[in-house]
């Protein structure tokens, strides 16, 4: 057998091979073996991550950055080592990595700390496919400053309309904030192109923010190559625990920004008369952080690296191609977003004629299949698509073609229930 063929076969088995690492995937839901197709909401966690969290609590639970004793030093070393691991994962420097509670908090941090820089007449550019957490903070900021928000349109195929991007971004654009991958359409946006456009055509020091919540676990990310100024993502969507988010920011920008929250750990010196603040990254991390969560996240990154992001991407591409083909065989099923797997992730939204997305999700639940039904925190996008909601599956490295086959069988059965 040729090496390339061997490699292909090997990749085809990735889902089966890694499934053993995820305890929850071996449980039942409604007395059926679970088929987890909601990784865009949150991913499942491998044993390696769960063990790392437990080890922290059992063996070196102590607060960070303050104790002189060995236990606290061990906790601090693990916490800061995690920062180093995350930085290397996206080609940043450790001091450019801020730990937050999630993508939502990371995006709010940027919005709040950049408010003073916005001037009358400037504008903020987003896209029609943003999650509420990359829309509402900017909308509120714009309202407060009395400035405009522009939304780059999507094409009928569910991709970003780059002609419209050229019209939206002008010399008054101060902030461009876009999602890397849509959590509804699965479209992969040309972030690099948008970043070049924004930096060339936007206002002086126009900042480019990338919401990487849906891309970080599925595609290699290099912040230098993307050319973005900020990148936000969540640990829980990349096999790590909930309650931890990451904000990458270019050092020069983070240095200029005021703190987001005030309190312990973020200060250099406090006197009754006033306070000076700590250096990066601590300036933005007030209070006791989610130590166990950050340590778990570092393990999740190591887990991804042990498999290899390129391999994950190739496997998910193959699975997405298969899922798109199988879903399109179903009569009365409409897919929202690109119909082919080029420049596309494994997030697939659809509707089945005559069936409400919530009913569909409930019928699939009875079969042990987890999918999401609704607006997916993208209400404005739903109005563009002219639907109240969609049914959505989202694939990850532990899914298999068998999961897709079970889904297709269950959708056909759901149709029978409703069309009867
Ligand atoms: N941005 C995108 C593109 C997302 O998909 C999500 C969460 C967020 C931001 C917010 O992330 P958080 O970790 O702060 O909550 N998306 C989803 C979803 O699609 N279903 O549940 C959560």
Percent of the chain with pLDDT over 90: 94
- 149 and 87, same structural domain? yes
Query: Does one domain contain both 234 and 159?
Result: yes
Whether the Cβ atoms of residue 331 and residue 338 lie closer than 8 Å to each other: no
CB 128 within 8 A of CB 153: yes
- Mean pLDDT score, 66-81: 94
Q: Are 92 and 165 found together in one domain?
A: yes
Give the pair of three-digit tokens for residue 299: 């393990």
Give me the pLDDT at residue 321, please: 98
For ligand 1, whether the C-beta of 41 sits within 6 Å is: yes
Runs of H (alpha helix) within 334-391: 357-366, 379-385
- Kindly tell me if the per-residue pLDDT of 5 is higher than 90: no
Ligand 1 neighbour 219 (Cβ under 6 A) = no
User: What average pLDDT does the chain have?
Assistant: 96
pLDDT tens digits, 289-303: 999 999 999 999 999
SS3 320: helix
Q: What pLDDT, on the 0 to 100 scale, is given for residue 419?
A: 78
Q: List the CATH number of the domain containing 378.
A: 3.90.1150.10
Residue 45 lies in a domain: no
Distance CA 155, CA 306 (A): 38
Select from 278, 305, 332 the last residue of a domain. 305
Q: How many structural domains are present in the chain?
A: 2
Q: Is 179 in the pocket of ligand 1 (CB under 6 A)?
A: yes
Query: Tokens 């009867």 belong to which residue?
Result: 420
Domain boundary at 247, 275, 305, which?
305
Ligand 1 close to Cβ of residue 213 (< 6 A): yes
For residue 212, pLDDT over 90 is answered with: yes
Q: Are residues 57 and 191 in the same domain?
A: yes
Q: Considering the domain boundaries, does residue 252 fall inside one? A: yes
Ligand 1 geometric centre to CA of 40 (Å): 7
Q: What would the mean pLDDT of 36-64 be, rounded to a whole number? A: 98
285/195 Cα distance (integer angstroms):
27
Q: Is 104 in the pocket of ligand 1 (CB under 6 A)?
A: yes
Which range marks the domain in which residue 348 is found? 2-33+309-419
Is 187 in contact with 159 (CB distance < 8 Å)? yes
Residue 43 lies inside a defined structural domain of this protein:
no
Residue corresponding to tokens 């089945």: 352
Same domain, 238 and 381: no
In a domain, 245, yes or no: yes
Same domain flag for 119 and 165: yes
pLDDT band at 189 (very low <50, low <70, confident <90, very high): very high
Q: Which residue owns the Cα nearest ligand 1 atom 18?
A: 41
How is the chain split among helix, strand and coil, in percent rounded to 5?
45, 20, 35
Kindly state whether residues 221 and 135 are assigned to the same domain. Answer: yes
Q: 283 with 383, same domain? A: no
Q: According to the model, what pLDDT value does residue 4 have?
A: 53
- pLDDT above 80: residue 245: yes
- 401 strand-pairing partners: none
User: Ligand 1 centroid vs 95 CA: distance in angstroms?
Assistant: 25
Ligand 1 site, residue 133, Cβ cutoff 6 A: yes
Nearest CA to ligand 1 atom 5: 183
Ligand 1 site, residue 182, Cβ cutoff 6 A: no
Classify residue 41: in a domain, yes or no.
no
Are 172 and 55 within one domain?
yes
- What residue has token string 């900042």? 207
- pLDDT score for 411: 98
pLDDT band at residue 3, thresholds of 50, 70 and 90? low
Residue 250: CB within 6 Å of ligand 1?
no
- Counting from 1 in the atom list of ligand 1, the atom nearest the Cα of 106 is 14
Q: Are residues 298 and 318 in the same domain?
A: no
334 near 327, Cβ under 8 Å?
no
CA distance 128 to 384: 8
What is the structure's pLDDT at 12?
82
pLDDT of residue 2: 54
Q: Which of 168, 206, 228, 377 is catalytic?
A: 377
Among protein residues, the one whose CA lies closest to atom 11 of ligand 1: 103
pLDDT category at 9 given cuts 50, 70, 90 is low
Residue 40, domain member (yes or no)? no
pLDDT of residue 10: 66
Alpha-helical regions (H) of 28-92: 47-59, 70-89
**Residue 129, C-beta contacts closer than 8 angstroms, at least 6 positions apart:** 154, 160, 179, 182, 184, 185, 187, 378, 381
Query: Residue 197: CA atoms inside 13 Å, Cβ hemisphere, count?
Result: 20
> Span 267-286, mean pLDDT?
97
Domain match, 295 and 318 both: no
Instruction: Give the closest residue (by CA) to ligand 1 atom 21.
Output: 41
Q: What is the CATH number of the domain that holds 136?
A: 3.40.640.10
Q: What does the pLDDT look like over 94-141, one tens digit per residue?
A: 999 999 999 999 999 999 998 888 999 999 999 999 999 999 999 999
Task: Tell me how far the alpha carbon of residue 186 lies from the centroid of ligand 1, in angstroms.
Answer: 13
What distances in angstroms separate CA 133 from CA 194, 213, 233, one per listed residue?
20, 11, 11
Q: Is residue 315 part of a domain?
A: yes
Checking if the pLDDT of 163 tops 90, the result is yes
Nearest atom, ligand 1, residue 105 CA? 14
pLDDT of res. 136: 98
Strand partners, 124: 149, 175
Please confirm, yes or no, whether 377 is among the known catalytic residues: yes
Residue 7, pLDDT above cutoff 60: no
Pocket test for ligand 1, best of 183, 187, 376 (most atoms within 8 A of CB): 183
Residue 66 maps to a domain: yes
- Same-domain status, 154 and 76: yes
Å from CA of 213 to ligand 1 middle = 6
pLDDT of residue 115: 81
Name beta bridge partners: 271: 274
Q: How many C-beta atoms lie closer than 10 Å to residue 151's C-beta?
A: 18
Q: How far is the CA of 187 from the centre of ligand 1 (A)?
A: 15
Pairing of strands 230-234, 207-211: parallel
Coil, strand, or helix at residue 293? Answer: helix
Nearest to 285 by CA among 136, 106, 141: 106
- Domain end call among 261, 290, 305: 305
**C-alpha–C-alpha distance, residues 270 and 283, integer Å:** 13
The answer to whether the CB of 406 is under 6 A from ligand 1 is no
Residue 246 Cα to ligand 1 middle (Å):
13
**pLDDT at position 417, please?**
86
Whether 235 lines ligand 1, by a CB cut-off of 6 Å, is no
Tens of pLDDT along 322-359?
Answer: 999 999 999 999 999 999 999 999 999 999 999 999 99
CA 37 from centroid of its chain's CA atoms: 16
Distance CA 373, CA 355 (A): 11
Three-state DSSP at 109 gives helix
């Amino acid at each position: 057998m040729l090496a390339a063929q061997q490699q292909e076969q090997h990749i085809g088995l990735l889902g089966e091979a890694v499934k053993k690492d995820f305890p929850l995937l071996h449980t039942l839901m409604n007395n059926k073996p679970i088929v987890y197709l909601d990784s865009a909401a949150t991913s499942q966690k491998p044993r390696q991550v769960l063990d790392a969290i437990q080890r922290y609590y059992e063996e070196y639970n102590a607060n960070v950055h303050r104790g002189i004793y060995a236990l606290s030093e061990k906790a601090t070393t693990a916490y800061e080592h995690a920062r180093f691991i995350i930085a290397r994962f996206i080609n940043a420097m450790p001091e450019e990595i801020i730990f937050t509670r999630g993508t939502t908090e990371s995006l709010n941090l940027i919005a709040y700390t950049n408010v003073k820089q916005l001037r009358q007449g400037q504008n903020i550019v987003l896209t029609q496919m943003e999650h509420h957490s990359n829309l509402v903070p900017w909308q509120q900021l714009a309202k407060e400053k009395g400035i405009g928000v522009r939304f780059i349109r999507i094409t009928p195929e569910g991709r970003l309309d780059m002609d419209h991007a050229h019209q939206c971004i002008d010399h008054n654009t101060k902030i461009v904030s876009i999602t890397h991958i849509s959590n509804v359409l699965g479209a992969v946006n040309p972030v690099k192109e948008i970043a070049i456009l924004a930096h060339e055509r936007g206002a002086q020091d126009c900042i480019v923010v990338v919401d990487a919540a849906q891309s970080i676990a599925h595609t290699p990310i290099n912040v230098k190559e993307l050319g973005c100024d900020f990148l936000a993502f969540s640990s829980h969507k990349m096999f790590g625990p909930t309650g931890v988010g990451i904000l990458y920011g270019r050092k020069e920008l983070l240095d200029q920004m005021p703190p987001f929250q005030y309190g312990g750990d973020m200060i250099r010196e406090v006197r009754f008369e006033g306070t000076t603040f700590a250096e990066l990254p601590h300036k933005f991390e007030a209070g006791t952080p989610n130590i166990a969560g950050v340590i778990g996240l570092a393990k999740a990154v190591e887990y991804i690296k042990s498999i290899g992001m390129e391999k994950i991407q190739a496997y998910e591409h193959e699975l997405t191609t298969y899922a798109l083909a199988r879903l399109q065989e179903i009569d009365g099923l409409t897919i929202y977003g690109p119909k082919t797997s080029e420049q596309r992730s494994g997030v697939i939204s659809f509707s089945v004629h005559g069936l409400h997305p919530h009913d569909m999700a409930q019928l699939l639940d009875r079969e042990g299949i987890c999918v999401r039904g609704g607006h997916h925190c993208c209400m404005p996008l739903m109005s563009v698509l002219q639907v109240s909601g969609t049914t959505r599956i989202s694939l990850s490295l532990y899914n298999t073609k068998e999961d897709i086959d079970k889904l297709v069988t269950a959708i056909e059965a759901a149709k029978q229930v409703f069309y009867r």
